[in-house]
Structures are given as C-alpha cells and as structure tokens.
Structure 1
Amino acid sequence: MKTELTEIELPCGEGSLTARIPTRNIVCVLTRQDARGLADEREAITQSLRSPISSPPLRDLVKPSDKVVVLATDNTRPCPDDRILPPLLAELESTVPRENITIIVALGLHPPLDEAELSRKLGRDIVARYNVVNHDVNDTVYIGTTSRGTPVDINRRVIEADFRISTGFIEPHFFAGFSGGRKSIAPGVFSVRSAYHNHGYQMIEHPKTRTGILKGNPLHEDLVEQARMARLNFIVNVLLNKDRKITHVVAGHPFKAHEEGCQIEREIAGVKVPQRADITITTNSGAPLDLDLYQTCKGIDTAAQITRDGGIIIVASLCSAGIGPQAFLELHRSVASPKEVIRKIKQAEPIGVQWENQILARTQLKHDIYLVSSLDDRTVRDMLMTPVGTVEEGLERAFSVLGENAEIIVIPEGPLILPLLEE
C-alpha cells in the first residue's frame, strides 16, 4: 500500500525546499498567525514617530545642535532597515542637520559589513548620503557595572552622542526572551568583556533565560540595565509577517514601546502544542537567518522545546556563509560529546562564543540533530550533528531509530514561533 505523503514548504536560503512527510505521522504543523502587511509602511512609521508610545514626538526630543546616533541592525537580522531609515531620518532632519547624524551598524561581535553589504542592508542612497560606520568592539568606553556584575563597555560614538535611537525587529529570542529594544545597545554596541559576563555560563543556564520570557529573565534584565546606563533614548521596532512585510510599528520609550511590541509578538507567534514530538522538523526561517550554523541554533532551540527526550530534530538550514565564528566550530570540535562541551565551558570560561555552544550542547544532551545544509559532512560531524542530504533522508534514518510510528511535528519557521506546550 502506497504511503500518503504531505508536502510542506520549508524556507531555506533565499528560496524553499519541499519536504514530503508521511501524513499519518504528522501530529501538527506550527505556524504563526499571518498578520496583514501595512498598506503604507512609510506613513505608518512616520505616524509612530509623531505619536509614539510613552514619549513626546521624536522631533520634540532633539535639538538642532544635537549629535544623534541611529543604531541599525546587521545582516543576520531580517529587520528592514532600508524601509525604516528613510522616514526616520526625514523626521530627524526636520530638526537636526544631516551632518550631525551618524548611523552605527550594531554588530555585537559579528564581523563588519562591507560597502556592498551596507548598501543591501540599509539602502544604497542611505549609505551614500549619511555617515555610516560599523560598531568596533575595540573602541568602547567603560560606563559602569550592572547590579549583576556586568562591566558595561559601550561604543564611544554612542556615549559621546547627545541622542540615541535604535531600529529593531521583534521576534522570539532563545535566551533574551524577545529580540529588539535594548539589544541594539547590548549586545549591539558593547564589548567582548561585556558579552562574556552577560552571556556567561550561569546566566545562560538560568531556567528563565529562555524564549518568550522577559519577567525574571536575568539576562534580559541585565541587558535593560545596560541600555539604561547607555541612555538609549528612543526606539523604532517593527514586527514582520512571513513575506517580510511590516505588520506593526512600535516607536517611542525604549522599554515601554518594546514591551508593547513583545506583547503583540507573543500573541502572533504563540502556538499551542498538544504534545511533544518524537521527531521535529524545522528550519531557521530562510535567509538571512539561516546564513550560518551559529544563527541556526535559534531554530534548533525552538524545536528542542517540543521534542521528547531521546527524540530527533531534523533541521534544514542552507548555511551559505558557513559555520559562523570559527571559535564556535573549534569548541565543539575539540571534544567528543555535548557533555564535554558543557564541562569545558564551566571549567575554562570565558572561551570563544561559549553561549552558542552551551545552548546547542544542552539540546544535544537530549536529542540527536540531523542537518540538511550546504556544509561539508566533516564540519557537521565536528559539530556533533548528523549530515543528511534531504529531509526525507533524515526521516528515513529517524524512523529506523524510533520506529515507523514515530510522531512528527513540523515548524516551518523555527525561530519565529513561540511554542506553548499544553501537556
């Protein structure tokens, strides 16, 4: 008897791949509520700047003499800075002359963007007309220590500015709760030293340092404290649908506007899940989020939340830019098991980009991970994963381990979902 198959499109790179999955094994497919894109994005952004959340209008907050920095996101984020910046800068320039405005790409510890990447991310016209610089982790100023002991080193230009604005995209985040808001300051423009404390072993291991949690999340609260110390003045954050259209704009008070945006995102991204899966199939939601394996840990972490202990995660992620930071590969490659990854971090921190290794290893203690990607097989195995050519090959292998009746949950856009387990 022929097995009935269900075809499901999975975002991968700039396109997608079609996974053919036995219908009888599928428990559910987790998808976001797909909100409609705004009819006029530019007008919506302009109005949000003129009627912001818990804040006077932007033009009333700045003076002609002010030096203003605008913090934009880098190319690992789908934030549409090329659509946010034109109305934002136009509103600013109604008061502040252009030569007083600097755009800083809030890279965190990511590599700098070259001219072509800046043009793709921010828009060619913006790059040509404004002073645009990449964050430099070696050009920071120590401004104090948080109540949790994090030394706060912030980009010198940010500290020397009179007014600080950040763009951002709000989505579930696997240890900060949600992205956006305060993250443009920390980790966006902080130092390696700040990262190692805020992303340290104990902070990452805290039970509330998880997706969708803000209240009681020590890492999030530490980021907020850093953003307050750096005097972040105003934010313009957006929510997106699956077509990368802006559905909501939250602008204004850097913390209250962000909280409002997170609440909207929680309602859109939250999906009830009736049970844990034996096999979870997911992605990192295509480009630019699946640029490398380092970023793909976000989608893997979402899948881990709804996969039973001993279950298998199959993830499709193009990883067109490779592994990500070399230190990410080196730490995993230096040991033979996820347990040893955890032990090495505890004993030797600070080390590399340990937070990503730690979260990945935490998943690997409970789940085998099968990866469909453009990475070579040896690299995938060095990351303690199993390389597979297709989702179907991954399923065949998983069924051979877990049995033909293994139950499957599919998350086509892994990092954009907030699973709400009902059991």
Structure 2
Amino acid sequence: MTTERIAVPWGEDGSLSLELPPDWRIGREAVFEPDLRAAISDYSVALSEALDAPLDGPRLEDRVGPGSKVAIVVDDPSRWTPVREALPIVLARLHGAGVKAEDVSISVGVGRHHAVDDQAMRRRLGDGPAETYACHSPPVDDLSAYEDLGTTARGIPVRVFRPVAQADLRVLIGSVLPHLQAGFGGGYKLIFPGTSHRETLGALHRQGIGRDSDAGRLLGSPSTENPMRQAVNEAAQLLGPCFSISHLIGAPGMIFRACAGRPESVQDALAAEARERFQAPHAPPADVVVVGNNPWPGDPMQSFKALLHHRAASVPGGVTVGLFWTDPAEIDRSMPRTAMRLIAGSGAPGGWAIRRLVPAIERVLMARESSAAFMLRWARELVVDRTVMVYAPPLYERIGGRLGPVRIFADQDALWRAVHRALPKSRRDAPSVRIFPRGGLTYSTGVRNTVDV
C-alpha cells in the first residue's frame, strides 16, 4: 500500500493537496467522505411538495387565517439553509390564507452568536422581506425583550423573544446537521436557544454534561436518548403551535431533502437520513486524525467544532489536525478577534496553563451553573488529552502560531514535521491515520454509554 494523492476541498471551488510524509503509507480506505448523492434539482418544487404533504399535521395555510400573527424564525447566517429561496414560497402561502404583512415577523435564531445587522439581514432574507416585514436579531442579554413562559420539569427557565412568544404560530426554517450536544441541530433549536434569553441558553447547554460524563457521546444520538433535545422539546410545550420547514443539506446550494410539518416528526426523519449520510463507520481510533472544515466558511469556532465531531476517531494522546480554510470576513464571527489575540499572546506558557486549568475552571462553572460551562467542556475534551494543530494561513497571519494550546501553521511541511515530533516514538514510523476531508458534515462516534441527564 502506497500513499495516494489526497485532496481536501479548499475555499469555494478549490482543493488542497495533502503533502503527507512519504513514509506514511496511506490509502483511500483511511479517507471517509459523506454521501452527497441525489441532491434536489429544483428546490421550489421540492419545498412546495413538502408543504402540500406535511408530516403529522395540517398544511401551513390551514393553520392560519385573517388576523393570525405569525413569527417566522430562521437560522443564523453561519448556516447555509436556503432561507432566501424558502421565504417567498412560505410568505405567499401565508398571505394566500389571509395573513397580513403587518402580522408577520421574522427573527434570526442567533443564540449567542453575533447579532445580525441590517446588511447581514438583507443577505440572509433578501431585500424584499427585509424591507417589508418586522425583522429581528434577538438581544440575548436584554431580559426586557423576552416573555417568561415558566419553568420546565427539568428546571429550564423558558424565556423566549417576545415577538416569537406572542405569535399564534411559529414557522421554523432551518436545517439538520450533526451537533455535538443535541445530537443533530435544527427544529425547535431555532428557538431554544436561538431566540431565547441567555438564562435559557445556559440551562439548555448544561443538559447532558455532568461533571464525569463525556459530552462527545451525545453527538449523533437519537432524540429519545439525548438530554438536550429532550429539554428543548419540553420547553417547546410551553410555547404553543409551531410548524417546521427543515432541510437536509450538504455544501451551500446542495439540498438533499426538504421536509415540513410537526417539528418533532420532521426532526427525527431528517436526523435519521443525516446519520446514514454523514456518520463515519466504526474503526479503531487512529494516531493522527486529519479534519477539513469544509463546508464551513472559516468561522474558527465552527471549524473547531468540526474537530470535536471527529474526536472519537483519535486515540487519547494522539494528534488531531485541522485544515481550516478561512474566509477573512468570517474569522471573528463567533470568537472576537481581540479574544483570539489575547489567547494567542499568552504563547506556549498560556497553552500550558490552559491545558491544566481548563478542567478546574469547568468544575467551578458547572457548580455555578454558568452558561459558559459547556464551552469549557468542549475545550477540555478537545485539547487536554490530545495534541491539536491547525493549518490555516489567514488565521496564522492574524494571530500568529498559537491559540492557547493549539498550534497554528501556514506551511504544510512545518505542520507535518510538528505532527511527527508530537507522536510517541513507537508510532512515528507507521502511524495509523484517518482523514475526513469534509469534516463540517461528517462525524465519528465511539461506543455510546448511558448519558448523564
């Protein structure tokens, strides 16, 4: 077996050829690609058919009438849901049923991501909807903008953005992709936490990540076994009627299925197909795991999530390599550049401290029920027991060669030399390797234990 030429998607249309060490004999069997067959050729037809035959409930236009107040909730710009294409079809059906434009609001489920300004709102919704309807980017920390709907049996405070909470019907437009904590994204997650106050967001993100549990075990899990998804569904019962329009997607512009109807039914149907298309087959953990961030546009936080999605493919003590194509416009969408530079400026000593302090800080945040606890858990599971290196030339140019314990490279030769040195001496001559070129879609799971609720 000889090393084959392996390329990963890079940018919108390019590719990056991996220049792996010549003594690493890697064949195609080490590479896992998602199933990208059978994309929809005519989206408007597919969506219309889904709306004509919704799952487990009446059609959208049969649920509203003159005087109905409708809140449309769409996912945020970091996702590639076909929001601009879906809105005209959905709005035409609402208005055909007698709903007035002044009774329709559109909110972007940003959660804790960056607020969506006017320009970004137009890009997300299209100029027509952005000008015609009341459009909102919910302020996650302004409690006065939220309706208090009570507390669930799990103790989740349900605080929902007022235009969404007070509507007669909520229409959710999003997509299903693997999610580290909720199993799969989409559905009610557009509201919980997308249009929820930070108190609700924090309480939801603490579900399933008890002190000794492994949050990575939640990735790709069914809704019946996933504490966060169960908590989200319970919160939705305090809200009122919802109608879901969701998608199974690949790269931007690649849609495999559009589905509409009862949110729980739509979510489960698309999650099952996502599992078939994107879950890597079980294999022995590898010494080196290489993950491309495609099709994410380069937001570092989303790119690091791609590494977390493949954590189970790596042996403890192994090396995980991220290949992060980075759009300069996306580089600080989720993590402010000042924060990245602050972490980067701490250099190697800062990385050493982070690796040792993260577990202790996480325990404190969990005890205080902090909304940041889940992010510390993910950081610990990624960097504390593995070496993480990233090839990302634009990120290297902005912040240098370190982001805490993560080393950043702009040169492939230097990257692979560093990987070789980081391996145990007994594994340097013939390390086992697994490669996930489209790591923004694919994911790997270990043996799933009972999760901590």
TM-score in terms of structure 2 length = 0.85
How far apart, CA to CA, are the structure 1 residues paired with 2:226 and 2:258? 25
* Offset from partner CA, 1:309-355 (integer Å, 9 cap, x none): 11101102244333533497578977813341121122144557442
CA contact (8 A) 1:278 1:308 kept: yes
1:309 paired residue number: 316
2:395 paired residue number: 375
Larger CA deviation: 399-408 vs 305-314:
399-408
Matches within 5 A, 1:251-330: 251-288=260-297, 290-291=298-299, 293-319=300-326, 320=328, 321-323=330-332, 324-326=334-336
Consecutive unaligned residues of structure 2, counting only runs of 5 or more, are 449-453
Q: Do the aligned partners of residues 392 and 414 (structure 1) sit closer, same or farther apart at CA in structure 2, a change above 3 Å counting? A: farther
Residue type of the alignment partner of 1:416: L
Instruction: Work out whether 1:220 is the aligned partner of 2:229.
Output: yes
CA contact (8 A) 1:170 1:265 kept: yes
2:92 paired residue number: 90
1:181 paired residue number: 187
How far apart, CA to CA, are the structure 2 residues paired with 1:67 and 1:201? 32
Residue type of the alignment partner of 1:186: F
What is the SS of the residue equivalent to 1:414? coil
Larger CA deviation: 374-383 vs 32-41:
374-383
* Offset from partner CA, 1:30-60 (integer Å, 9 cap, x none): 1111122212111111121121000111110
1:337 paired residue number: 354
What is the SS of the residue equivalent to 1:54? coil
Residue type of the alignment partner of 2:220: G
Consecutive unaligned residues of structure 1, counting only runs of 5 or more, are none
CA contact (8 A) 1:314 1:391 kept: no
How far apart, CA to CA, are the structure 2 residues paired with 1:70 and 1:14? 33
How far apart, CA to CA, are the structure 2 residues paired with 1:39 and 1:92? 25
2:35 paired residue number: 33
How far apart, CA to CA, are the structure 2 residues paired with 1:58 and 1:118? 24
What is the SS of the residue equivalent to 2:5? strand
Matches within 5 A, 1:136-175: 136-137=139-140, 138=142, 139-175=145-181
What is the SS of the residue equivalent to 2:96? coil
1:363 paired residue number: 382
* Offset from partner CA, 1:268-301 (integer Å, 9 cap, x none): 112214321111111222443x32x222231011
Q: Do the aligned partners of residues 15 and 328 (structure 1) sit closer, same or farther apart at CA in structure 2, a change above 3 Å counting? A: farther
Larger CA deviation: 188-197 vs 381-390:
381-390
Instruction: Work out whether 1:400 is the aligned partner of 2:399.
Output: no
What is the SS of the residue equivalent to 1:24? coil
Instruction: Work out whether 1:18 is the aligned partner of 2:17.
Output: yes
Larger CA deviation: 51-60 vs 293-302:
293-302
CA contact (8 A) 1:101 1:131 kept: yes
Larger CA deviation: 350-359 vs 150-159:
350-359
Compute the displacement of 1:235 (Å).
Answer: 0.4
2:106 paired residue number: 103
How far apart, CA to CA, are the structure 1 residues paired with 2:285 and 2:296? 28
1:387 paired residue number: 408
Residue type of the alignment partner of 1:317: F
CA contact (8 A) 2:292 2:323 kept: yes
How far apart, CA to CA, are the structure 2 residues paired with 1:300 and 1:228? 34
CA contact (8 A) 1:204 1:219 kept: no
What is the SS of the residue equivalent to 1:212? coil
* Offset from partner CA, 1:199-237 (integer Å, 9 cap, x none): 238636644762101332211211111122222510000
Compute the displacement of 1:6 (Å).
Answer: 1.3
How far apart, CA to CA, are the structure 2 residues paired with 1:422 and 1:28? 20
- Number of residues paired by the alignment? 419
CA contact (8 A) 2:4 2:26 kept: no
Compute the displacement of 1:92 (Å).
Answer: 1.5
Compute the displacement of 1:196 (Å).
Answer: 1.8
Larger CA deviation: 9-18 vs 84-93:
9-18
Matches within 5 A, 1:41-120: 41-95=43-97, 96-120=99-123
Compute the displacement of 1:93 (Å).
Answer: 1.6
CA contact (8 A) 2:157 2:200 kept: yes
How far apart, CA to CA, are the structure 1 residues paired with 2:187 and 2:277? 18
How far apart, CA to CA, are the structure 2 residues paired with 1:328 and 1:220? 30
Compute the displacement of 1:181 (Å).
Answer: 0.6
> Share of identical aligned residues, percent?
22
Larger CA deviation: 322-331 vs 137-146:
322-331
Compute the displacement of 1:178 (Å).
Answer: 0.1
